[in-house]
């Protein structure tokens, strides 16, 4: 990567526009997710936005972490501030050694380090931003950062306005409209918040959130934090710039195909935003102060640094309009054989079933977020059923049975499988249904069994209800993930890539297919009173469009 010059070097910093800032009232922000849906269409174009909290804080973070949580300690990691060459001789080690601190000892160390560097304490954010990139180019300094610290600095005091509000990140993922409320287990950092305690120039590298989720970040106290954000619609362009202008070709060829995506997923890549500006990739900035939230939108790459000692807190969340992005993330994960963290298919089906029940109310009016759930669900079920039809055509004698367990992981691509999966009856090898037949056959010569969830009839009922009103062509561009070398991926046992398939609706041929498949399902596959619905489900999910979209780690979590 070519380093920028240090003379007229940093003029580009003034070319980065600010992200939107919102100032909701307590009434407007009493339901944060509802408020976010009102601004999402505008704010998502920037990748990040800032929201000034309307709630007062009566118990500061320092008191929470020193008095309410006695004995609180955390590990801080050493970061080298430099722009890595990203070649075979320079594999970035973003986080190295670690030390243990309590809140006050880290604050004391941080303030001393700041005073040594800048004797005048009131430096402007713009000045510190320039100094950060000068330091990165110089490449000699180290800092410490307490990141991914389990815990929360929101007070439990009943008199603390913020702590008792819906802006408390401890309870944020459990809000009624958050899809993560449907998980029956906790995932640190995703369903429960984590703390980020930084000092001058503590850095978070370019990354997207796991599964392209939303994130909400609250700044409890201390010096501001500078953010850079790239909107989700420009994520592919961002990745192309990283591949072509940041990483050395030698390092990419020595890792794997799609190595750039794999390296970015490590969250260790930091480079100046001017590289993005030079290649027409939109990038925006925010200066987050105490009492402010920063929202990152699905698949929005973001990075930044602290301007001094501070304490922030973050957690992920998902609303209905996340599901199309979650589907894309599932395909990327499967392509990289990356272990999933969320049971996407399970969450999607749960939300769809809940939505289908609401649709029966004559007074129900579908929101844009709910429309995203419906469209994602229909596409997913059609994709799944197409894979089942292909499987049936290739292996007509395959056996079907019912499954009662939760989500399992495909052992070939790490995709999550909730509704259906294959299992070898000898070695109990699990795979999803999106692979070429040759990659599914076990060396043990065991018999493959297709397992389908016992309560899939609920999914079928929801699908039938939604498919009637499904509009073709909506958001097609979101579902076309441009991956190359499809046949090579399948050959090596990875997941099948998403392709653009025109939406098909259930017809006479599929009805016949369903009847034929029904005859092959073992009698034990479904309870008698659900038998018809269960059999119809396997191929009644018969209209398939775009791609699959699964991923999970229920088995990993259990």
- pLDDT tens across 388-424, in order? 888 888 887 788 888 877 899 999 999 999 999 998 8
Of 251, 283, 318, which one is at a domain's C-terminal end?
318
Q: Alpha-carbon distance 155 to 170, whole Å?
A: 10
Together in a domain, 290 and 344? no
Conformation bin of residue 14: beta by default, left when phi > 0, alpha when psi is -120 to 50: alpha
What pLDDT does residue 548 have? 33
The closest alpha carbon to 241, from 2, 13, 483, belongs to: 2
Q: Which range of residues forms the domain containing residue 46?
A: 9-318
> How far is the C-alpha of 270 from the C-alpha of 264, rounded, in Å?
9
Q: Rounded to whole angstroms, how far apart are CA atoms 99 and 106? A: 10
Asked if 313 and 346 sit in the same domain, the reply is no
- The answer to whether position 88 is within a domain reads yes
Q: Please, which pLDDT band fits residue 269 given cuts at 50, 70 and 90?
A: confident
Q: Give Cα separations from 14 to 17, 286, 295, 304 (angstroms).
A: 8, 13, 22, 16
pLDDT at 550 over 70: no
| Residue 90 belongs to a domain | yes
Q: 351 and 225 in one domain?
A: no
Torsion sign (Cα): 158, 159, 164, 169: negative
> What number of other Cβ atoms are within 10 A of residue 124's Cβ?
11
Consecutive H or E run containing 77: strand 74-80
Nearest to 463 by CA among 383, 558, 402: 383
Q: Are residues 302 and 402 in the same domain?
A: no
pLDDT tens track for 65-115: 999 988 899 999 999 898 876 665 555 555 567 899 999 999 999 999 999
Q: Distance between CA atoms of 194 and 314, rounded to whole angstroms?
A: 6
Residue 182: count of CB within 10 angstroms of its CB: 15
Residue 328 covered by a domain:
no
Rounded to the nearest integer, the mean pLDDT of the chain is 80
Q: Are residues 112 and 195 in the same domain?
A: yes
Which residues of 327-483 form beta strands (DSSP E)? 399-403, 408-409, 416-417, 420-424, 430-431, 448-453
Give the tens place of pLDDT for each residue, 181-207.
999 888 988 999 999 999 999 999 999
pLDDT band of residue 262 (cuts 50, 70, 90) is confident
Q: For residue range 106-158, what is the model confidence (pLDDT) as tens digits?
A: 999 999 999 999 988 778 999 999 999 999 988 889 999 999 999 999 999 99
Residue 254: the pLDDT is 56
Q: Is 288 part of any domain?
A: yes
Tokens of 502: 């025109």
pLDDT at 489 over 70: no
Q: Which of 202-211, 361-370, 533-542 has the highest mean pLDDT?
A: 202-211
pLDDT for 491 beyond 80: no
190 dihedral zone (left: phi>0; alpha: psi -120 to 50; beta): alpha
Here the CATH number for the domain that contains residue 212 is 2.60.120.650
Same-domain status, 369 and 294: no
Confidence check: pLDDT of 536 > 50:
no
In whole angstroms, what is the distance from residue 510 CA to residue 541 CA? 10
Statement: residue 527 has pLDDT above 60: no
104 and 176 fall within a common domain: yes
Domain count, the chain: 2
Would you say residue 332 lies in a domain?
Answer: no
pLDDT at 92: 56
Per-residue model confidence as pLDDT tens digits over 270-324: 999 999 999 999 999 999 999 999 999 999 999 999 999 999 999 999 999 999 9
- Pair of tokens at residue 265: 């997923």
Compute the distance between CA of residue 522 and CA of residue 268 in angstroms, rounded to an integer. 50
Looking at the structure, do residues 393 and 475 belong to the same domain, yes or no?
A: yes
Boundary of a domain, candidates 318, 351, 377: 318
Quote the CA–CA distance of 399 and 304 in Å, as a whole number.
53
Q: Confirm whether 2 is domain-assigned.
A: no
Is the distance from CB of 53 to CB of 292 less than 8 angstroms? Answer: yes
CB atoms within 10 A of CB 60: 16
The Cβ of residue 389 has, within 10 Å, a number of other Cβ atoms equal to 20
299-to-326, 374, 415, 516 alpha-carbon distances in Å: 9, 20, 19, 42
Q: Each residue of 424-433: pLDDT tens digit?
A: 888 888 899 9
> For 26-47, what is the mean pLDDT?
96
Q: Which residues of 107-119 are buried (b: 16+ CB within 10 A; e: fewer)?
A: bebbbebbeeeee
Q: Is residue 239 part of a domain?
A: yes
Same domain, 288 and 202: yes
Same domain, 388 and 259: no
Q: Is residue 526 over pLDDT 80?
A: no
Q: What is the pTM of this model?
A: 0.82
User: Do the domain assignments include residue 329?
Assistant: no
CA-based torsion, 231, 233, 234, 238: positive or negative: positive
Residue partners of 315: CB distance under 8 A and separation at least 6: 169, 172, 173, 189, 190, 191, 192, 193, 194, 215, 216
Residues 354 and 308 both lie in one domain: no
- 89: exposed, middle or buried (Cβ count in 10 Å: 0-12, 13-18, 19+): exposed
Q: Is residue 29 over pLDDT 70? A: yes
| Judgement on whether residues 171 and 306 belong to the same structural domain of the protein | yes
């Amino acid at each position: 990567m070519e380093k920028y010059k240090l003379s007229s070097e940093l003029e580009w910093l003034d070319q980065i526009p600010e992200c939107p800032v919102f100032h909701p009232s307590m009434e407007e922000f009493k339901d944060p997710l509802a408020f976010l849906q009102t601004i999402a269409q505008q704010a998502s174009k920037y990748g990040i936005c800032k929201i000034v909290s309307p709630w007062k804080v009566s118990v500061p973070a320092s008191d929470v972490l020193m008095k309410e949580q006695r004995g609180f300690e955390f590990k801080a990691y050493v970061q080298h501030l430099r722009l890595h060459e990203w070649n075979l001789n320079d594999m970035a080690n973003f986080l190295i050694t670690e030390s243990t601190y309590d809140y006050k000892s880290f604050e004391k160390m941080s303030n001393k380090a700041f005073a040594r560097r800048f004797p005048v304490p009131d430096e402007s954010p713009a000045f510190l931003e320039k100094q950060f990139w000068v330091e990165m180019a110089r490449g000699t300094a180290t800092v410490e950062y307490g990141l991914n610290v389990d815990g929360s600095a929101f007070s439990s005091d009943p008199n603390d306005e913020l702590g008792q509000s819906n802006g408390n990140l401890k309870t944020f993922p459990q809000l009624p409209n958050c899809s993560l409320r449907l998980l029956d287990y906790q995932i640190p950092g995703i369903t429960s918040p984590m703390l980020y305690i930084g000092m001058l120039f503590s850095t978070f590298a370019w990354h997207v959130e796991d599964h392209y989720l939303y994130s909400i970040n609250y700044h409890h106290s201390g010096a501001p934090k500078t953010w850079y954000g790239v909107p989700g619609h420009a994520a592919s362009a961002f990745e192309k710039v990283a591949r072509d202008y940041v990483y050395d070709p030698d390092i990419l060829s020595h890792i794997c195909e799609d190595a750039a995506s794999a390296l970015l997923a490590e969250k260790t890549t930091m480079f100046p935003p001017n590289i993005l500006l030079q290649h027409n990739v939109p990038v925006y900035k925010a200066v987050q102060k105490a009492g402010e939230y920063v929202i990152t939108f699905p698949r929005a790459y973001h990075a930044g640094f602290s301007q001094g000692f501070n304490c922030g807190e973050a957690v992920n969340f998902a609303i209905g309009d996340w599901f199309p992005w979650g589907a894309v993330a599932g395909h990327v994960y499967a392509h990289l054989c990356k272990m999933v963290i969320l049971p996407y298919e399970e969450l999607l089906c749960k939300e769809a079933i809940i939505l289908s029940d609401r649709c029966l109310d004559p007074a129900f009016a579908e929101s844009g977020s709910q429309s995203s759930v419906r469209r994602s669900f229909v596409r997913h079920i059609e994709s799944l059923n197409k894979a089942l039809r292909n499987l049936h055509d290739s292996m007509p004698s395959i056996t079907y049975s019912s499954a009662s367990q939760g989500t399992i992981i495909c052992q070939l691509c790490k995709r999550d499988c909730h509704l259906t999966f294959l299992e070898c009856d000898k070695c109990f090898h699990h795979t999803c249904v999106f692979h070429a037949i040759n990659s599914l056959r076990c060396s043990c010569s065991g018999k493959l069994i297709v397992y389908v969830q016992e309560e899939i009839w609920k999914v079928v009922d929801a699908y039938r209800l939604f498919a009637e009103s499904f509009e073709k062509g909506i958001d097609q561009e979101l579902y076309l993930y441009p991956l190359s070398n499809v046949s090579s991926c399948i050959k090596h046992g990875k997941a099948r890539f998403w392709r653009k398939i025109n939406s098909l609706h259930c017809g006479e041929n599929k009805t016949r297919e369903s009847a034929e498949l029904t005859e092959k399902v073992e009698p034990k596959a479904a309870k008698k009173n659900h038998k018809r619905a269960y059999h119809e489900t396997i191929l009644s999910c018969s209209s398939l469009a775009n791609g699959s979209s699964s991923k999970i780690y229920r088995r990993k979590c259990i």
